[in-house]
Amino acid sequence: MNIVYELLKKVPKGKVVSYGELARAANTSPRAVGKLMNVNPYAPTVPCHRVVNKDGRIGGFASGVENKIALLKKEGVPVVGGRIDERFFFYFN
């Protein structure tokens, strides 16, 4: 399994991670992370719905943005005005 997917499995329910933060931890680019999220064969074990833009915007999702928002809300992540507050962001050490 790709390192990006392995790292993403560490993001707990109730948190999100930015494409950039995930890229930094995996030593790759945010664009490469986005491409991997789009073809994630391990969902929901690898929770690609927890990856968002660095400014809290939801970003894309293969099964639709509304589904992504529903999954995040189910996990306790509030989405207000199409954004997620920074206090819900996860950062790798």
Beta-bridge mates of residue 18: 52
Whether 48 is catalytic is yes
> 34-37: which pairs have CB atoms within 8 A and are 24 or more residues apart?
34/59, 34/60, 36/2, 36/4, 36/5, 37/62
CA 91 to chain centre: 12
Q: Which spans in the chain are helix H?
A: 3-8, 19-26, 30-38, 65-74
The single residue of 26, 33, 48, 79 carrying the catalytic annotation is 48
Which residues are the active-site residues?
A: 48
